[in-house]
Amino acid sequence: MRPLLELSVKNYKSLRDVTVRLGPLNVLVGPNGSGKSNLLDVIQFLGDSVREDLGPALDKRGGLGDVRFRGYDPSSGIVNLRVSIHVKAKVTAHSHEEAPDEYVLNFWGLSLKTSGEKGQVRSFLRRTEQFKFKRVKGRGRRITINGSKVDLSETHGEKKTTKSGPSLRSDSLGLSTLPRLASSGGDEVRKVAELFSTFRVFDVDVRAARRPSAVSVTPTLQADASNLAAFLNYLRQDEENFERLQEDARAIVPGLVRIHFRKVGGAEEAVEVELEESGLKGHTTLAEASFGTVRALALLALIYDPQPPQLTCVEEIDHGFHPYVFDRLVERLRWASERTQFLIATHSPSLVNRLSADELIVCERNTKTGESVIPAADPEVVRAMEERAHGRMGLGELWFTGSLGGVPP
């Protein structure tokens, strides 16, 4: 699955000028502070903007001053950089690789002095947006938003028509507002908005995941895996798929025989996970299980989720796992990437050894300018180096030795 084709970002945190092509499985590697988290935060920022609007999404990150790139030289005269985010995706009915859906957001601050002798300086947030997509086969539509003005353009062969659309508040995003409109391309904009609003950053809270959770008919796996027991209980409705999950769990967790479930009384029906382990009498509850065991079950629940969001992020996916299991883990991630596009961060050369060149995104930080360099190694160069080193060194060793970049200075 590859709904997000390309992400271009300018002046967002350390991302001074970055363009990244994305595949079904994308693994980010690089030292701390190289921009991996900032790249993922761009997608989260768009999701927050859809749900809450532009201003609140910025406030959540400390405001425009904390979001805007700060690595430029003030003596250059640049005092008000525009932040630009350009997305190429494939989510509407008639989009394809050569004619993708496109969304462009630019925003910046504007300071004005009020009239009068004691005039005060007031700051305003300004933005422009542009959507481009095909409404029907063979036709294109572009929606441009500047301030509160919305212009709709449609192309029929060589003929282009433009008309004014609904007005928006100057501080509201069309990405948030237009999906609620029946006309004006609202359905297409909604599909673009959903790509980001459903983006899941999976970060397991082991303490919460160990606890029993309330039973639900069709639960959604929480981003912190706090409803892990209920979700695993839900997954066992598909007996064949659940047995595959258990086979993977046995390969990752030494001594695991079977996953059991026990109902727990209380105000509402809840369920608890118990593990049958070889050589031990009785069952082990998740509260008694190791950190790595809980993380493994949570990650497998994510991989076997039958209805995942279009985009899924997992930071430090190798945390708590023995390198021995990485072959199976990467194999399952590729299988799951048919249903959700993965953006994953890792510091493990052993895991990177299991990847192909087009799955690896190397990240670096230019210490002189403060800007991230992503990708720091061209995929074609990585592929050529991988071929030359075949049988002697894997991608993980090439990266670890600094041959691909993306290592601390």
Condensed to tens digits (0 to 9), the pLDDT of residues 137-165 reads 666 667 776 667 777 777 666 666 777 76
Only one residue has tokens 């659309």, namely: 165
Condensed to tens digits (0 to 9), the pLDDT of residues 338-350 reads 999 999 999 999 9
State the average pLDDT over residues 105-123.
69
The beta strand positions in 233-378, using DSSP E, are 256-264, 270-277, 283-285, 311-314, 341-345, 360-362, 364-365, 372-373
Residue 121 or 276, more confident: 276
Question: How far apart are the C-alpha atoms of 251 and 328, rounded to whole Å?
Answer: 8
- Asked if residue 326 lies in contact with residue 344, where contact means CB atoms within 8 angstroms, the answer is no
Find, among 379, 407, 330, the residue nearest to 21 by Cα.
379
Confidence check: pLDDT of 117 > 60: no
Q: Which DSSP symbol is given to 282? A: S
What residues have CB less than 8 Å from 386, skipping those under 6 apart? 356, 357, 394, 395, 398
Question: How far apart are the C-alpha atoms of 171 and 43, rounded to whole Å?
Answer: 20
Q: Is the dihedral of CA 13, 15, 20, 24 positive or negative?
A: negative
Q: What are phi and psi of 89, to 5 degrees?
A: -140, 175
Find, among 286, 301, 284, 295, the residue nearest to 234 by Cα.
301
Ranges of each domain in the chain: 205-308
Condensed to tens digits (0 to 9), the pLDDT of residues 230-262 reads 999 999 999 999 999 999 999 999 999 999 999
Q: How far is CA 336 from CA 222, 299, 358, in A?
A: 17, 11, 17
Percent over 90 (pLDDT), the chain: 57
Question: How far apart are the C-alpha atoms of 366 and 345, rounded to whole Å?
Answer: 19
> Which residues, listed in sequence order, are joined to residue 142 by a DSSP beta bridge?
132, 153
Using CA atoms of 262, 265, 271, 274 in order, give the dihedral in degrees to the nearest 10: -40
State the average pLDDT over residues 387-391.
79
Question: How far apart are the C-alpha atoms of 44 and 305, rounded to whole Å?
Answer: 21
Collapse the DSSP code of 197 into the 3-class scheme (helix H, G, I; strand E, B; otherwise coil) and give the result: helix
Q: Mean of the per-residue pLDDT values for the chain?
A: 87
Confidence check: pLDDT of 111 > 70: no
Query: pTM of the entire structure?
Result: 0.89
